Amino acid sequence: MIPAGFRMTPQRMAILAEVQNAERHLTAAEIYERVRRKYPTIAYGTVYRTLHLLAKHGLIQEFPFGDNASRFDRRTDRHDHVHCVVCGELVDVEVPTALLARQVAAEKTGFEILDHQTVFAGICPSCQEKRDRTVQEARAGRR
């Protein structure tokens, strides 16, 4: 699981478990809070060191996410994300244009392309509903 010379401590197992059992992409702070329920003395430093270790060895993936904090993902394969600009939710998505896009980017820039990642910004279904309800209420009120 982790290369020889590394120790599988209870803290590391707990951190890995939290990422793998998470219902969504967690920040380091969220992981820290969840692990703290079982290990009340765990330190932020341990959480960060462990997350980076796990990511480096391909057990999890880190997404350094613009505005705010990095998110950690149990998925380790390449994939893209959709980000709700209203509530902040971050959802995985597969988009099939990968190969063509990379080839174009390589040709246009001379770079050797190793990886890529697309972030779509938008409004999630639940926030669309809320917005639509608000618009309807506003119309009703105006009458």
Partner DNA sequence: GTCTATGCAAAACGTTTGCAGATAT
Partner DNA sequence: ATATCTGCAAACGTTTTGCATAGAC
Q: Which residues bind DNA (CB under 7 A)?
A: 5-12, 27-29, 39, 41-46, 48-50, 52, 64, 68-70
Q: Specify the residue for token string 């246009």.
A: 108
* Identity of residue 101: A
For residue 83, the number of C-alpha atoms closer than 13 Å in the C-beta half-sphere is: 15
Phi, psi of 115 (to 5 degrees): -165, 165
In the bound state with its own copies, the residue whose beta carbon lies nearer, of 43 and 104, is 104
Non-local CB neighbours of 11 within 8 Å, separated by 6+ positions: 35, 39, 42, 46, 50
Q: Binding segment for its own copies among 2-10, 29-37, 115-123, 134-142 (CB under 8 A)? A: 115-123
Binding site for its own copies (CB under 8 A): 63-67, 80, 82, 84-85, 91, 93-97, 100-102, 104-106, 108-125, 128
Annotated binding site for Zn(2+): 84, 87, 124, 127
